[in-house]
A = this chain, B = another copy of it.
């Protein structure tokens, strides 16, 4: 799980438009691919250079240009020049530390967000920096490595009947962001399940490892919030933008998406509170158990202490100790001890310690 903020010493003071990759390299290759479609036709292709992408741009179709691998400054420089995008934007594409945000530029909208994906095998959450650039004729998406997160969207494009085929670039943008948010909600939903299970185990039989779990879930939740909260701001901005690049009908979709992500925010707030409560409950149950332990020890000690003391008295070696010489002394002593012990037990029962 990534830390909340990360900056190395040599990154201080560098120019904001330096095309410098900042982050952990997750892929060596750069894969360029094009999906080009309108309501009638559809073309899917892996291309070898940025130049090749340019031909689609002039067409009257929706062009989705996807770049997997964001570490190659030459490719970025090419894109900057060919698509006439400010180098500032591409510098942000290459910086995995950029906060999720939507920025309007004169000729494009730049969207940065975190793509989270739950790995079914390892149970881990993979985080990836995703950049979307929306221009008049083309949608550019940048991922850190090859992945299948957007496969459902591609499938929808491949089916001719779907709304996505007859809509524009802005609707495609919405569909992609919608998929990312769906993943957030799915991950949150899995976390919620684990927190629920923990909650039940905790009350039945609290163990030290539960503290670990609470702590880990808190971290995971914090990590999720770090993606969800700025994404909310971003979607709000998209649903209110006056840019010509986003049509009114797509803004309605963004508004609905905003309600979805609010649901996620509310759920994450609730889980946070629940985890805090669980730590408190854990602590309280520990105290409750300590009370039980101490009651047990006290009852046991308090019953035997006086009995042992009595035995100790008759274990003394005084020459003149009259009780030692009566015939039934021993049995009387045993009887007295029994009465004492029973009296104690009754007292503790009255005190509700037993």
Contact A183 B12 (CB under 8 A): yes
Contact B319 A317 (CB under 8 A): no
- Chain B's closest residue to A327 (CB) is B320
Contact B277 A280 (CB under 8 A): no
Q: Is A66 an interface residue (CB 8 A)?
A: no
Say whether chain A's binding surface is mostly helix, strand, loop, or mixed. helix
Contact B13 A182 (CB under 8 A): yes
- The A289-318 residues at the B interface (CB cut-off 8 A) are 289-291, 293-298, 300-302, 304-309, 311-318
* Copies of the protein in its oligomer: 5
A153, A253, A266 pick with most chain B CB within 10 angstroms: A266
Q: Is A285 an interface residue (CB 8 A)?
A: yes
Contact A305 B302 (CB under 8 A): no
Contacts of A132 in B (CB 8 A): none
Of A35-43, A75-83, A93-101, A122-130, which stretch is located at the interface? A93-101
Given A6-B189, A203-B211, A300-B301, 7 further pairs, Cβ under 8 A: A3-B193, A5-B189, A103-B255, A208-B285, A293-B353, A312-B315, A319-B324
Of A26-34, A49-57, A139-147, A257-265, which stretch is located at the interface? A257-265
Contact A208 B5 (CB under 8 A): no
Distance between A348 CB and nearest chain B CB, rounded to angstroms:
10
Q: Is A156 an interface residue (CB 8 A)?
A: yes
Of all A-B residue pairs in the complex, the 9 with the closest CB atoms, nearest first, are: A13-B152, A311-B312, A314-B316, A5-B267, A4-B267, A13-B179, A297-B298, A12-B182, A315-B315
In-complex Cβ contact of A15 among B162, B192, B226, B298 (8 A): B162
Q: Is A196 an interface residue (CB 8 A)?
A: yes
Contact A333 B306 (CB under 8 A): no
Q: Is A65 an interface residue (CB 8 A)?
A: no
Contact A321 B316 (CB under 8 A): no
